[in-house]
Structure 1
Amino acid sequence: MNYQHYMYVVNDVEDSTKSRVIHEDEAIILYVKEGQVEVVADRRFFRLENDNLLVIQARNKITLTVKSGSYTIVRFRNYSLVKKVPQLRYEVNPYRFVHEFICYEGVTVPVTDALTQLKETKDVYDFQQLLAAIYRAFEQYEHNAEQHTFDDVVHYIKTYSHYPLTREDMAKRFGYNANYFSEYFKKEVGWGFNEFLTHVRLEKAKLLLRSSSLTIQEVAKEVGYQDGLYLSRKFSRQFGITPSKFRVVQPTERVASLQFTGALLAVGIEPVAVLSAYYNVPDILTPHIQDATFLSPNWLREEIDWQGGKPSLILASIYKVPHKEYVAKLQEVAPSVALDWDTHDRLEEVRLIGQLFQREQQAEDWIASYQQKIEQAKLMLQEGMDKNHTVGVYELRNHNRIGIWRSNARGGYNLFEMLKLRAPKRIEKEVLTPNRGIMIEEQYIDKYAADEMFVIVHSAEQEIRLYNEIWQGLPAMKRKKVHILRLQDFWSSEGVALEEQLKIQLAYLTGQRQSDIYL
């Protein structure tokens, strides 16, 4: 039998302006939003000021002295299992924490949101969510205390590449010696600073050349160069083609897609080659690309039989830090254009693809057709679905965890953005409204359960988890409203994939299809 070896008890959560003494067997989370509070615990002294947080469990009493302002305090106890027979026995454990104490400034939104949630519910699950958020924030705080991550540097360059950035300015902004910055940047990113800045600017220039009517001079100014001639020289040297010629490349007949295949199909272009990965080509798209060459993940190192000739253009996605060798090898095959993946609204993504390939009207035609299918689906669902009926999308992950993703992922766009179906309050608050995915322990799925649950599995073997008492106890399972979806069909939701996913979702929602998982 599985026993819970550790447990928490939340004694109280409150806002206060009073000084106080905390009993020695209680631990605390103390958050000072505005003001100053002094804390003494086991001869340690802490001064908490604006936006400071402390987590500590003392062996002796904890003294809080309020100098100004107010604080939020969570008082709780840690317990450990010390005896199993003849009955379970738990005792207070003062050594439960990974850290002796946690104290940091700059409390993040996920932590304050979790604290607000706990104040409302005083629920142990919400308390554990708060602790998890604090641990994540503290780890990031410790890391940032040593140095800015190069993710921050790269993000800054990508955001402000149209400004006159220099190595010296960047080093100063992020607190480095200029020479050290250059060496460390190349070590961490794989590019020299000026090389990477040029790469970012030229990739942006590609998008503008394909999707706008700006002149070469105007494109140059948009991406950070003052002179169109200078841009042309840089562009030609980097890609072996002038900006003017790149702009008029007619790739309609020979496009290779490494991403966005569903959106490409939506504007009426069937690629001649596709990266064989479910995040690019889910199984439901395979019938639409019967004649395409399927490229393996290592295709750039392989000899490809390009039937009919090499592609005239490659459609790719933007990596956070693209590998320099990969970019060079890609260019040897054909000119490429890259978009940010999984950041655009799904319909705007189709429009953007339409602009890149001069197929704006085809994009609008597909969108109109898709929206008509959505309206037909709404009419079908109105007949048998209560307006308060809730729907959720859940993905089984390793280690008994479950992913609940934002609406852009795993077919959620159909359900929440287009059909306007309701999600459980907790998913609405923690996932859809802030537009971010979360991971939860499977034992807490009941707190996020919907009346109708779409569950994404990675393999048939994974379905065995749905026979455990946690899942079998859910109301949706008892009503046979838990619907199995294959990750191979729902990994990406771009363009035509949305239409195919809608067919599957609608069959479940209308009762025409049922999963074979019920006892």
Structure 2
Amino acid sequence: MTAYTHTILRMKESSKRFLSVKQTDSWQTSSLMFLTTDGAVRLDMEGIRYELNAKDSVLIRSGIDVMVQSLSSEQVVIYTVTFDQFTLAQDAQNELVYKVNHDNLPDNGEVVKGSAVLFSYIKQIQTSQIIQEQAKWLEEIMFIFRKQSKPYNEKVHYSINMILQYMAEHYDQKLTRKDLAHKMGFHESYFSTFFKQSMGMSVTEYIAQIRIDEAKKRLLQTDDQIQIIARQVGYADSLYFSRKFRQKTGRTPSQFRMNRRPERIAAFQFVGSLVAIGIEPVCIDEETDLHSDILKEHLASSLVINEHTPDDVFKSLQLDVIIVPNYYYSKPTLIKRLEQIAPVLVLPYAGHHAVPEVLSIRTPFRKRK
């Protein structure tokens, strides 16, 4: 195998952790780490969750909080190897100077699934006490990681989904680009570019969007004061929250709350959930019309729409609210456009109870006239 030019890998420590049924163990990495397991475990790294099966392996960057829980009915062994990577910093006439450099490593949380060879290497590297042999083992392990880890497109999709999951669960806390980049093992500048290319908006814009959308749900579901809702979604300053809300929606929080009994609804997805709670939307998305014959029987008078439906058509319907799924976050221009027509409510596509919880528990609807 050919080693990466001007790169040295040096093992620091190898260890075994034994977990009984449902037992957990936690620590913070002080260096780079390879981890593998001989059984099923759940791995949590700073709020991001992975499920590993026997012979799955993962690379973890330094300074990461790790918690591992056994999912097996038998004792599980966790094998770890901590190491450092050095690259050539100076090539003088009489000396070579290396420095610690983690720039070109795979991402934090990079997983190789079910590699018996990789499992064996990580498990057995501790048997050698010779530095040169340890370095060779590490090079072999890194080579397999680079070769067998997910293809670029799949990896990008996986990474962005993991960080979106984290943001959805922690939007009420302080979120910074630096911290989010660290959790995924990215440089901050690269992370910002990667995120904007993936989502069509900056990290800061996305955080503001999900906070405002969570606030909308609370405005519909509760009678909480505006300042309380602002704190619940991550804004310490209620005046700043109100300005951001109006900037995003064209309405103040109070104006949005006044529309708690909408009757004229445009539904991009969620049509079945609406019908189930007695709401007949004014218009339905094209996909539902094409693929759900059962629903079409109940929605014969509903206009079929898609994201290219002209604004004039939408405006003529005098809509009270437009419901879209959260995967539309990747279409920020469309969401902004729809906000100019009627209030937009973004709901989790995988949340089966999202529609009745937000729309019907506190504000019973009537069928449209």
Same fold (TM over 0.5): yes
Q: Distance in 2 between matches of 1:248 and 1:328?
A: 21
Deviations 1:33-83 (A, max 9, x none): 49xxxxxxxxxxxxxxx95369xxxxxxxxxxxxxx999xxxxxxxxxxxx
C-alpha distance in 2, partners of 1:53/1:307?
53
Partner of 1:242: 252
Deviation digits for residues 250-292 of structure 1 (CA, Å, limit 9, x no counterpart): 5533211112223323443322222122279722222333332
1:367-382, aligned counterparts within 5 Å?
none
Q: Residue 292 and residue 217 in structure 1: after superposition, are their counterparts in 2 closer, same or farther (change >3 A)?
A: same
Aligned match of 1:355 = 361
- The aligned amino acid for 2:227 is Q
Does the aligned pair in 2 maintain the 1:276–1:294 contact within 8 Å? Answer: yes
- Count of matched residue pairs: 240
Cα displacement (A) at 1:249: 1.1
CA distance, structure 2, for counterparts of residue 225 and residue 280 of structure 1: 42
TM-score (norm 2): 0.55
Contact 1:171 1:177 in 2 (8 A): yes
The alignment status of 1:52 with 2:55, answered yes or no, reads yes
Cα distance in 1 for residues equivalent to 2:241 and 2:263: 28
Change over 3 Å in CA distance of 1:306–1:291 after alignment to 2: farther
- The question of whether the paired residues in 1 share the 8 Å contact of 2:285 and 2:306 is answered with yes
* 1:231 Cα deviation from its structure 2 partner: 1.1
Structure 1 residues 315 and 355 mapped into 2: Cα distance closer, same or farther (>3 Å)?
farther
Q: Which amino acid aligns with 1:192?
A: S
What is residue 333 of structure 1 aligned with on the other side?
Answer: 341
For CA contacts below 8 A with separation 6 or more, give which structure has more relative contact order: 2
Q: State the one-letter code of the partner of 1:222.
A: Q
Alignment of 1:32-431 (within 5 A): 32-33=38-39, 52=55, 103-104=117-118, 139-140=149-150, 149-250=159-260, 252-278=262-288, 282-296=292-306, 298-299=308-309, 302=310, 304-305=312-313, 309-319=317-327, 321-345=329-353, 349-355=355-361, 358-359=363-364
- Partner of 1:333, secondary structure, is coil
- 1:308: Cα distance to partner? 5.5
Asked if the contact 2:311–2:341 (Cα under 8 Å) also holds between the matched residues in 1, the reply is no
The runs of 5 or more residues in structure 2 that have no matched partner are 1-36, 41-52, 58-74, 78-112, 120-147
Instruction: Verify the 8 A CA contact 1:259 1:275 in the aligned structure 2.
Output: yes
> Aligned partners of 1:280, 1:259: CA distance in 2, in Å?
12
Q: Deviations over 1:3-24 (max 9, x none)?
A: xxxxxxxxxxxxxxxxxxxxxx
AA partner of residue 359 (structure 1): P
Distance 1:297 1:282, change over 3 A: farther
Q: What CA RMSD, in Å, does the superposition of the two structures yield over aligned residues?
A: 3.9
User: Residue 209 of structure 1: CA displacement?
Assistant: 0.8
Distance apart, 1:235 and its partner CA: 0.2
* CA gap 1:281/1:235 in 2 versus in 1, 3 angstroms: farther
Superposed CA offset, 1:209-240 (max 9, x none) = 11122211111111111122221111011111
Question: Does structure 2 conserve the Cα–Cα contact (< 8 Å) formed by 1:255 and 1:271?
Answer: yes
Partner of 2:61: none
Kindly state the Cα deviation for residue 159 of structure 1 after the two structures are TM-superposed: 1.3
Separation in 1, partners of 2:357, 2:203: 33
Q: How many angstroms does 1:103 deviate by?
A: 3.5
Unaligned 5+ runs, structure 1? 1-30, 35-49, 55-68, 72-98, 106-137, 364-519
CA pair 179-354 structure 1, distance change in 2 beyond 3 A: same
Letter in 2 for 1:354: S
Could you tell me whether the CA contact under 8 Å between 1:185 and 1:191 is conserved in 2? Answer: yes
Secondary structure of the residue aligned to 1:278 is helix
Q: Structure 2: how far apart are the matches of 1:147 and 1:285? A: 32
SS of alignment partner, residue 103 of structure 1: helix
Residues 201 and 224, structure 1, Cα contact 8 Å, conserved in 2: yes
Specify the alignment match of 2:137 in structure 1.
none
Cα separation, 1, equivalents of 2:259 and 2:157? 44
TM score, norm. by length of structure 1: 0.40
Checking the alignment, whether the CA contact within 8 Å between 1:259 and 1:279 is kept in structure 2 is: no
Letter in 2 for 1:189: M
Contact 1:32–1:52 (8 Å) recurs in 2: yes
Q: What letter matches 1:198 in structure 2?
A: A
Structure number with larger C-alpha Rg: 1
Cα distance between partner residues in 2 of 1:315 and 1:180:
33
8 Å Cα contact 2:250-2:340 kept in structure 1: no
TM-fit CA distance, 1:197: 0.6
